[in-house]
Structure 1
Amino acid sequence: MRTKLILFILSILAFSCNNSNNNSPVIPNVPVNAQISVNSQLYPDLLQDGGYAYLPDGYNGIIVVRQNAGSYLAFERTCTYDPSSDCVLEVDQSRLYITDPCCGSQYNLQGQVIGGPAISALRQYRTSLVASTLYITN
């Protein structure tokens, strides 16, 4: 009986520790199934390496970044530090990084944290390029 009580208390403590240590906010999952033409005049910046475009899909929008002519990355425009914020991520005027204008978090163009209070990389969506059509999904 005593062993069962000890196991019960330990399981409660372990469960409560797992929940209390999960302080990182969670970005809500929303279905993403977008497609764009990377040659479209709607997205002129995607014609050059390091170029980007904003899409309305995702939770707060998506940033598409061209790595090279055959490789594109797509990220959620929600900061991983405070997903409940009304701010949306933007590519800095220098075009060298992505920033949150509210908390100051910064991410490189591969979605990794390079500064600010954020500690988690950006949520990345799958991309697939077929001819000139870029498919973005989760």
Structure 2
Amino acid sequence: MKRFLTAILLSLVCFSCGKTDSSYVPNVAVNFSAPLTDPRLSKLTASGGAVLISGYGVCGLVLYRSASAGYVAYDRCSSYEPEKRCAVTLDSPTLTVTDPCSGGKFSLEDGSPVKAPATRSLKSYSVTVRGGEIAVQN
């Protein structure tokens, strides 16, 4: 009986190892910087402006100029079924983004979900503005 219980316990430990939780956007290194005069960032001159930047994060970045929080940055990878790597798209007006795969929506003010099936906020990154340059890092 002792051997049986030991075998069950050992198999549970072995089979639980190595599993990853695919319900979260993965952590990847992000190191984006550009002058605020960069033409790609022209829509960030006023509150409510947003731009998409490719090549960073999991699916790219969304940079947003918030009326209350300054500049914020999110990964474009939807937090709803992130294993599908579905990149959110900007809505008009640019107060929200939409996951085109599920129809879920997220607020750009804080990244929170505003329409089902989304239930988790977008992955956010740290933003600093210094000397006329914006930098996004994790």
Normalised-by-shorter TM-score class: 0.7 to 0.9
Name segments (4+ residues, structure 1) moved above 4 Å: 5-17
Could you tell me how far 1:82 is from its partner in structure 2?
1.7
Could you tell me how far 1:116 is from its partner in structure 2?
1.7
Q: TM-score scaled to structure 2, two decimals?
A: 0.78
Alpha-carbon spacing, 1:108–1:13, altered in 2? closer, same or farther (3 Å): same
The root-mean-square deviation of aligned C-alpha atoms, in Å, is 3.0
| Unpaired stretches in structure 1, ≥5 consecutive residues | none
Question: Partner residue of 1:54?
Answer: 52
Three-state SS of the structure 1 residue aligned to 2:32 is: strand
Whole-angstrom CA distance in 1 between matches of 2:90 and 2:67: 17
Q: TM-score scaled to structure 1, two decimals?
A: 0.78
| Unpaired stretches in structure 2, ≥5 consecutive residues | none
Identity, in percent, stands at 27
Superposition map of 1:1-138 within 5 A: 24=23, 26-56=24-54, 57-68=56-67, 71-109=70-108, 110-138=110-138
Q: Which amino acid aligns with 2:133?
A: T
Q: Which amino acid aligns with 1:92?
A: D
Whether the aligned pair in 1 keeps the contact of 2:44 and 2:50 (CA below 8 Å) is yes
Could you tell me how far 1:102 is from its partner in structure 2?
1.5
- Across the two proteins, how many residue pairs are aligned to each other? 136
Whole-angstrom CA distance in 2 between matches of 1:115 and 1:14: 38
